[in-house]
Amino acid sequence: MTQALLPPSVKPNWLGGHMRPFMKDRIGFLTKLSKLGDITTFKIGKQTAFFINHPDLIRDVLVTNHYKFEKGRALKQAKKLLGEGLLTNEGKDHLRQRRMIQPVFHRQRIAGYANSMIEFGEKMADEWKDGAEIDMSQEMMRLTLQIVGKTLFSANVSDEADEVGKAMTTLVELFDYLLMPFAGLLEKLPLPHSRRFRKAKTSLDAIIYEFINQRRKSGEDKGDLLSMLLMAQDEDDGGQMTDEQIRDECLTLFLAGHETTANALTWTWYLLSQNPEAEAKFYEEIDKVLGNRQILPEDYQKLKFTEAVLAESMRLFPPAWGVGRLAMQEHELGGYKIPEKSLVLMSMFVLQHDERFWDDAESFRPERFLSENAIKEAGNKFIYFPFGAGVRRCIGEQFAWMEGVLLLAALGRKWKFKLNQNQKIVPQPMITLRSKYGMKMQLEKR
């Protein structure tokens, strides 16, 4: 029987409902709500939102009744940057695009990318100087950007890495601005935020369109995503994708393919630096598997503790920290009525820190993922979903696992990292979960 009352909530502000506390500290606000029950409610301006924090409820929305929901407002707003790419598209168009792109992420093809991942990881390890201080977040962004450029577009973006990195950072930082009420109106005004957003978007567009133009001129099939998109034909009318459609997919994977992995690696190096016992086991495995030789693609399967380290890092600091869905019809959830047009929010961060589902939830314990199918089992229970779930689960998940493990080994083979004692650690939940003040670390040659 559906209850007439709304789920519990915290006291709203008289102006804007819960907008201000939510925008000020998203994770803190949602964690506070989670203490009130598995389903709670709050207001973002005029928008009614429901926060769900139980695996059964999350499965209901993302899998069982996914057809009743669309992407939330954040990703609808992301269309201003990403167009109609895989991340932002809906319904039949999304499924069609996913089918077209899926072959580039087949297991055999991903294995072929391993050499590029190792090559760039070894190159970065050779560039570093003993005793130097680096900003690990910037270095990991630069590294994963080069890899995604090479593996998905067969392009060397080393020369443009700084420009692309700055543009990506600008867009991520301005994402809050896109979520503000009246953002559509504000974008049309000659405000500093609007100008910075347009400049960053123009910069990225120029680089992506240059990739497309060069490939169209050469007509070469390099077997990468770009070649596949250029050759793809619509099953119904035989039509091909326009340059604009290809641009949308390329930019989506450009952003998703480096931003999230870079953040996962940054948080992993931080956690290892703060947990000497786990750090010692990590280096012990690398030395045992590799000895004094360079890493090989087949080593990926042998680095089980390294994989567990990455899994535990993504539990504590999931790169995609939350996900939203908009109800397209009324739906009953956890005994409450979710009206049409309501926003439903879920947070990987909050659920993956929940003591009900994780022993010693706040501690970094990679061992919890060491049994044969621990990662898969946690996913099946819906208590662990750093890559999302259901029909919109991240298409590049296997690519990310391989990249993360191989890069940790390639860099860890030669270096240890010590956190700068003055480094402030503040997770910043925007599109992804970045470290607000970077991650300054000192290099120590092994």
Quote the pLDDT of residue 242: 81
Q: What is the DSSP letter of 60?
A: I
Q: Which CATH architecture has domain 19-445?
A: Orthogonal Bundle (1.10)
Nearest to 440 by CA among 412, 419, 416, 425: 419
Domains of the chain: which residue ranges?
19-445
pTM of the shown model? 0.90
The whole-number average pLDDT for the span 241-247 is 83
SS3 (DSSP) at 41: strand
E strands along 39-90, which residues? 39-44, 47-52, 69-71
pLDDT tens per residue across span 208-231 = 888 888 888 888 888 787 887 888
* Cβ-proximal residues to 81 (8 Å cutoff; 6+ apart), any chain: 171, 201, 251
Radius of gyration of the chain (CA): 22
CA distance 104 to 228: 8
* Cβ-proximal residues to 57 (8 Å cutoff; 6+ apart), any chain: 38, 39, 333, 334
pLDDT tens per residue across span 287-312 = 999 998 999 999 999 999 999 999 99
Number of other CB atoms surrounding residue 446 within 10 Å? 11
pLDDT tens per residue across span 311-366 = 999 999 999 999 989 999 999 999 999 999 999 999 999 999 999 999 999 999 99
| Residue carrying structure tokens 């989506």 | 252
